[in-house]
Amino acid sequence: MNTGTYFKGQLKRISKLFPGIFALSVVFAIVIGISGGLYAKYTNYNKVISKYNIGIMCEQENPLLSVGLGLIKSIDDSRFLVNIYNYSSEEEGFEAIHNKEIKLFIVVPEAFLDNLMYQLGSPHVKLYAASSKGITTVMMDEVVNLLSDDLILTSTGLYSLKDELGQLSISDEEKKALNDKLFMKYMNSLLARGELTKINEIGLGDGLSFMGFFFCGMILFYTVMLSFCSISYFIGGRTEFCMICRAKGVSSGAQVLCEYICFFTSNLICGGFTLICVFMIFKSGLLKIDDFAHDLIPTYLRFSLFYLFVLIGLTSFEFLLFEVIRGIINKFLMAFLVLIGFSFLSGYFYPRSFLPGLANAIGKILPTGVAYDVLSCGITGAPNMINVIKMLIYLAVFLSFVVLARRVRIIKGLE
Amino acid sequence: MEINISGVNKKYGKKTVLNNLELTGTSGDCIGIIGRNGTGKSTLLSTLAGVIRPDSGSFMIDGQNAFINDTIRHSEVAYVPQGTPLIEELSALDNLKMWYDADDMKKSLEDGFLHLLGINDFLDVTVNKMSGGMKKRLSIGCAINNNPSILLLDEPTAALDIICREAVYDYFKAFREKGGILIIATHVIHEISKCSKTYILKDGSLKPYIFNDDVSGLLKEI
Is A84 within 8 Å of A73 (Cβ atoms)? yes
A255-312 residue pLDDT tens: 999 999 999 999 999 999 999 999 998 888 888 887 787 788 888 898 899 999 999 9
Please report the DSSP string for B104-159 in residue order: HHHHHHHHSHHHHTTGGGGTTSBGGGS-HHHHHHHHHHHHTTT--SEEEEESTTTT
Q: How many helices (H) and strands (E) does chain A have?
A: 18, 4
Question: What residues in A contact B88, CB-CB < 8 Å?
Answer: 236, 238
d(CA A317, CA B80): 32
Question: What residues in A contact B49, CB-CB < 8 Å?
Answer: 243-244, 247
d(CA A329, CA A351): 31
pLDDT of residue A204: 46
Indicate if the pLDDT at residue A373 is higher than 60: yes
Q: Answer with the residue of higher pLDDT: A354 or B173.
A: B173
Burial of residue B85 (number of CB atoms within 10 Å: 0-12, 13-18, 19+): buried
3-state SS of A111-149?
CHHHHHHHCCCCCCCEEEECCCCCCCHHHHHHHHHHHHH
pLDDT of residue A277: 92
Average pLDDT over chain A, rounded to whole? Answer: 78
Q: Which CATH number fits domain A51-196: 3.40.190, 3.40.50, 3.30.420, 3.30.70?
A: 3.40.190
Question: What residues in B contact A6, CB-CB < 8 Å?
Answer: 98
**Mean per-residue pLDDT, B182-200:** 85
Average pLDDT over chain B, rounded to whole? Answer: 86
DSSP A175: H
User: Cα A72 from chain centroid?
Assistant: 22
Among the ranges given (A187-191, A372-376, B154-158, B163-167), the one the predictor scored with the smallest mean pLDDT: A187-191
Please state, for a pLDDT cut of 70, what percent of chain B lies above it.
99
Give the H or E element holding residue B183: strand B181-185
A185-225 residue pLDDT tens: 766 665 555 544 443 434 344 567 777 888 888 999 999 98
Q: Answer with the residue of higher pLDDT: A43 or A350.
A: A350
Question: What residues in B contact A411, CB-CB < 8 Å?
Answer: 12, 52
Instruction: Give the mutation candidate from B88, B94, B130 for the A interface (greatest A CB count, under 10 A).
Output: B88
* B181-185/B30-34 β-pairing: parallel
A24-50 residue pLDDT tens: 999 989 998 888 888 777 765 545 445
Determine whether the interchain pair A238/B79 forms a contact, defined as Cβ–Cβ distance below 8 Å: no
Give the H or E element holding residue A259: helix A252-284
Give the H or E element holding residue A239: helix A239-247
Indicate if the pLDDT at residue B91 is higher than 70: yes
**Mean per-residue pLDDT, B200-217:** 80
The domain limits of chain B are: 2-213
Sign of the alpha-carbon dihedral angle for A329, A333, A338, A339 = positive
> Closest chain A residue to B89 measured between Cα atoms?
A13
Instruction: Give the mutation candidate from A3, A243, A258, A410 for the B interface (greatest B CB count, under 10 A).
Output: A243
pLDDT of residue A239: 84
Give the H or E element holding residue B3: strand B2-12
Determine whether the interchain pair A13/B89 forms a contact, defined as Cβ–Cβ distance below 8 Å: yes
Is A260 within 8 Å of A314 (Cβ atoms)? no
> Closest chain B residue to A8 measured between Cα atoms?
B98
pLDDT of residue A143: 59
d(CA B222, CA B219): 5
B2-213 is classed CATH 3.40.50.300: yes
Indicate if the pLDDT at residue A235 is higher than 80: no
pLDDT of residue A180: 72
pLDDT of residue A273: 94
Indicate if the pLDDT at residue B32 is higher than 80: yes
C-alpha to C-alpha distances, A135 to A55, A61, A107, A147, A272, nearest whole angstrom: 14, 30, 18, 16, 42
Whether this prediction's pTM lies above 0.95 is answered by no
Question: What residues in B contact A16, CB-CB < 8 Å?
Answer: 89-90
d(CA B90, CA A336): 28
Indicate if the pLDDT at residue A134 is higher than 50: no
pLDDT of residue A255: 92
Instruction: Give the mutation candidate from B11, B39, B75, B98 for the A interface (greatest A CB count, under 10 A).
Output: B98
The domain limits of chain A are: 3-44+207-412, 51-196
**Mean per-residue pLDDT, B150-159:** 85
d(CA B216, CA B194): 18
Question: What residues in B contact A240, CB-CB < 8 Å?
Answer: 81-85
Indicate if the pLDDT at residue A176 is higher than 80: no
A67-99 residue pLDDT tens: 777 777 776 656 666 778 888 888 888 888 888
d(CA A38, CA A193): 36
Residues of chain A that touch chain B, judged by Cβ-Cβ distance less than 8 Å: 1, 5-6, 8-9, 12-13, 16-17, 236, 238-241, 243-244, 246-249, 410-411, 413-415
d(CA A383, CA A397): 24
> Closest chain A residue to B45 measured between Cα atoms?
A414
pLDDT of residue A49: 47
Question: CB distance from B81 to chain A under 8 Å?
Answer: yes
d(CA A283, CA B61): 69
Question: CB distance from B132 to chain A under 8 Å?
Answer: no
Question: What residues in A contact B89, CB-CB < 8 Å?
Answer: 13, 16-17, 236
Instruction: Give the mutation candidate from B47, B59, B89, B142 for the A interface (greatest A CB count, under 10 A).
Output: B89
| Of B70, B81, B99, Cβ closest to residue A243 | B81
Is B77 within 8 Å of B152 (Cβ atoms)? yes
Amino acid in position A114: D
d(CA B61, CA B64): 5
Helix ranges (H only) for A168-238 are 172-196, 210-229, 231-235
SS3 content of chain B, % helix, strand, coil (to 5): 40, 30, 35
**Mean per-residue pLDDT, B60-87:** 88
SS3 A150: helix
ipTM of the complex: 0.83
C-alpha to C-alpha distances, A355 to A48, A219, A351, A359, A361, nearest whole angstrom: 17, 21, 7, 6, 9
pLDDT of residue A333: 83
A380-413 residue pLDDT tens: 877 778 889 999 999 999 999 999 999 888 887 6
Sign of the alpha-carbon dihedral angle for A233, A238, A244, A247 = positive
Among the ranges given (A51-65, A241-255, B34-48, B75-89), the one the predictor scored with the smallest mean pLDDT: A51-65
d(CA A35, CA A110): 47
